Amino acid sequence: MRREDRVPPPAAERRREAREDAALGGMRVDHVGAAREPQQQPKVEHVARPRLLARSERVPHDSVPARQLLPRLRALGAGEVDPPALGVEPSDDVDDLARDAAVRWIRAQENSTPSRFVQGLPFYALTRAPGRVGPLTSMNLNEILSVLWHRKWVVLLVTALALGAAVAALKLITPVYESTSTLALNPGEDLDNDLIFFQTIDTIVPIYATAAETQTTLDAAEERNGGRLADISVRTFEAAPIIKISARGTDKELVRDSAQAVTDVLRERAERGEVGIRSLNLAQIDRPTVPTEAVFPSWKLTIAVALLLGLGFAVAIALFLENLTTRIRTRADLADASGLPVYAELPKEGALARPISPEVFASSPSLRSISEALRDLRTNLTFAGGKLSSVAVTSPEGSHGKTTVAFGLAVAMARAGSRTLLVDADLRRGRVAEMLELDRVPGLHEALNGATLDGGVIRRTSLENLDLMTGGRVVSDPGELLNARFPDLLRRLEEHYDTVVIDTTPLLPINDARLIATLVDATLIVASSGTTTVGAVQEAVHRLALISVTPTAAVLNRSRSRQARAYYGRSPREEPADSPPVRERI
């Protein structure tokens, strides 16, 4: 079989291929596309859902001619482009398009946290610290009643002023009286069909009512009444042949005579045929009388309105004053001002103003609520503070009851079986000896100056496990003495006792309490309800923070809250002697 030599392509075909190669050499990457796609593609301005994204090593857009890609191209169908040849592959990484505005907007929407808005303001803008009354906080019923109880004199005063103003106004206003005459329109004997009369009653009665108020009738009534006439008004009723003529004025006799005069003139005009229908009879069924009570002003209505308005203004003023006050009244107020937990709330008790012994303090029925509050304080200190060898009890200022709290806490500790020592560390004005009716000397001052603890400095009390150390001799400036010798003395006392309760000086006027606070395991700040200010509590906590001391807790003393007495406020002696025993339900 003869092999045929390969015939070279004609010259025309070679020229056509050369032209195609030249055209292909001038193309760029962005010119490569589907054979049947439109010549112009719409420009994409924003990325809606980017899924196939170019990597950082993708081919530059405007510099690589398609000739350089020919070795990497394979045989493709119309409109196909080989992704590996172009360096393009699917990617979920959005970082490559971080500069795109649409992607940034999508990210912002996905990462944003929805917040609640109220009339254009974010929800958090309508909140404030709890505990203080303000325009943006709500109060429950118990809080409102507590505020009104504390402001009861303001409420009573404002209400009394409102009632007094109402009574004074009633006295100044001249009373107005009213007298009424009642007439009835009846069908006469000449009217054969009464049914026709009652069907047309709403048309006939207004004729007589209008005639009663005409100037002719009023002039005739005034002339008949001696030239004087009260204010006249006429009332009618739907589907009823009743007419009421009323006279109002400040003279009781005049209003009666005026109503009767208008009635007489109207009846005379009706009988003469000047008004209405002759066949109808206008009869007076109720004559006017001398009024006994004024129709204006109404005393009952005025007093009731004044009482309601007075109470409303009183409540508003009480809440407004409570919002402006800076005094501590409740546990929430103390917690907000100090930033500390409130371990106990002691109710106000007048029996504590007198000297009292530890046994009476622990067992007196009248002090049951105080004892229970102190047991709460003991429990909270024991379980929250861990090891508790020494406790300092102080207050922002004087007269807040810190000595009472320290004494009560020592009694509660002793009754729990802990060997307790109460130390009066207020060497300037300590009241422990006065409260227990003991001699002040010897005491802490003598112990700091070298006196032995067995030489009468520590005294036994009638309550088991409770000992006492008074303040000793009063000195004007014991700060240096406490700073130099009290740490050693406290360590010796902690070796002999389970708990040492120290009654210290106030924090704001004197520095002694801060020196002791650096040595003890726990520090309590006592605030008196209704006396201590928010600023004083905050300043006391700040002064301790300056020496790196964080108070353990706060105690609210002399609270007037009913919740402090609600459960344990009743004394056993209030129970009837013959009351049967109550079985506790488990």
pLDDT one-digit tens code per residue, 229-247: 999 999 999 888 999 999 9
537 versus 102: the higher-pLDDT residue is: 537
445 has pLDDT over 80: yes
96 has pLDDT over 60: no
Phi then psi for residue 342, to 5 deg, are: -95, 110
Structural tokens at position 272: 């003469």
Cis peptide upstream of residue 297 (ω within 30 degrees of 0): yes
Q: How far apart are CA 180 and CA 185, in angstroms?
A: 17
Structural tokens at position 267: 């009846």
Q: How far apart are CA 573 and CA 571, in angstroms?
A: 5
State the greatest distance between any 2 C-alpha atoms of the chain, in Å, as a whole number.
Answer: 162
Buried b (16+ CB within 10 A) or exposed e, 462-472: ebebbbbbbbb
Which range among 128-132, 496-500, 574-578 has the greatest average pLDDT? 496-500
Q: How far apart are CA 533 and CA 540, in angstroms?
A: 11
Q: How far apart are CA 207 and CA 278, in angstroms?
A: 13
Q: How far apart are CA 156 and CA 162, in angstroms?
A: 10
- The confidence score (pLDDT) of residue 182 equals 95
- The confidence score (pLDDT) of residue 33 equals 43
With 0.85 as the threshold, say if the pTM is over it. Answer: no
68 has pLDDT over 70: no
Number of neighbouring beta carbons within 10 Å of residue 26: 10
Structural tokens at position 192: 């054969």
Sign of the torsion formed by the C-alpha atoms of 308, 314, 318 and 321: positive
Q: Which amino acid is at 129?
A: A
Structural tokens at position 82: 């080989």
364 burial (CB, 10 Å; 0-12 / 13-18 / 19+) is middle
Q: Which of 167-176, 217-226, 320-329 has the weakest average pLDDT?
A: 320-329
pLDDT confidence tier of residue 79, bands split at 50, 70 and 90: very low
Sign of the torsion formed by the C-alpha atoms of 513, 518, 519 and 524: positive
- Residues of the chain with pLDDT > 90: what percent? 37
Which range among 6-20, 406-420, 561-575 has the greatest average pLDDT? 406-420
Cis peptide upstream of residue 442 (ω within 30 degrees of 0): yes
* Structural domain boundaries in the chain: 177-286, 331-568
- The confidence score (pLDDT) of residue 89 equals 44
Helix (H) or strand (E) holding 527: strand 522-528
88 has pLDDT over 50: no
Structural tokens at position 214: 């005409």
Q: How far apart are CA 108 and CA 105, in angstroms?
A: 5
Q: What angle do CA 331, 333, 335 make, to 5 degrees?
A: 70
- The confidence score (pLDDT) of residue 228 equals 92
Q: How far apart are CA 504 and CA 490, in angstroms?
A: 13
- The confidence score (pLDDT) of residue 85 equals 39
Number of neighbouring beta carbons within 10 Å of residue 224: 17
24 versus 351: the higher-pLDDT residue is: 351
Query: How, if at all, do strands 342-347 and 420-424 pair?
Result: unpaired
Structural tokens at position 303: 């007093």
pLDDT confidence tier of residue 177, bands split at 50, 70 and 90: very high
- The confidence score (pLDDT) of residue 222 equals 93
Cβ atoms of 268 and 195 within 8 Å: the answer is: no
Which range among 12-26, 137-151, 427-441 has the greatest average pLDDT? 427-441
pLDDT confidence tier of residue 190, bands split at 50, 70 and 90: low
49 has pLDDT over 50: no
- The confidence score (pLDDT) of residue 504 equals 92
Superfamily of domain 177-286 in CATH is: EIF_2_alpha (3.30.70.1130)
Q: Which of 33-42, 465-474, 494-503 has the weakest average pLDDT?
A: 33-42
- The confidence score (pLDDT) of residue 175 equals 92
Question: pLDDT tens-digit profile of 256-266?
Answer: 999 999 999 99
Place of tokens 């009248």: 366
- The confidence score (pLDDT) of residue 257 equals 94
Mean pLDDT of the region 410-430: 90
- The confidence score (pLDDT) of residue 92 equals 44
Q: Which CATH number fits domain 331-568: 3.40.109.10, 3.40.50.300, 3.30.300.20, 3.40.140.10?
A: 3.40.50.300
Question: pLDDT tens-digit profile of 517-559?
Answer: 999 999 999 999 888 889 999 999 999 999 999 999 999 998 8
Kindly list the strands in the beta sheet with 390-394, ordered across the sheet, starting from the edge strand earlier in the chain: 342-347, 553-559, 522-528, 390-394, 499-503, 420-424, 466-469, 459-460
Question: pLDDT tens-digit profile of 338-363?
Answer: 999 999 998 887 666 666 777 677 67
Q: Which of 40-54, 462-476, 541-555 has the weakest average pLDDT?
A: 40-54
157 has pLDDT over 70: yes
Mean pLDDT of the region 72-99: 42
Mean pLDDT of the region 166-183: 93
508 versus 59: the higher-pLDDT residue is: 508
63 has pLDDT over 50: no
Mean pLDDT of the chain: 76
Q: How far apart are CA 406 and CA 287, in angstroms?
A: 84
311 has pLDDT over 50: yes
Q: How far apart are CA 148 and CA 134, in angstroms?
A: 15
131 versus 341: the higher-pLDDT residue is: 341
Question: pLDDT tens-digit profile of 369-398?
Answer: 888 888 899 999 988 766 789 999 999 988
Mean pLDDT of the region 403-429: 90
Mean pLDDT of the region 162-191: 88
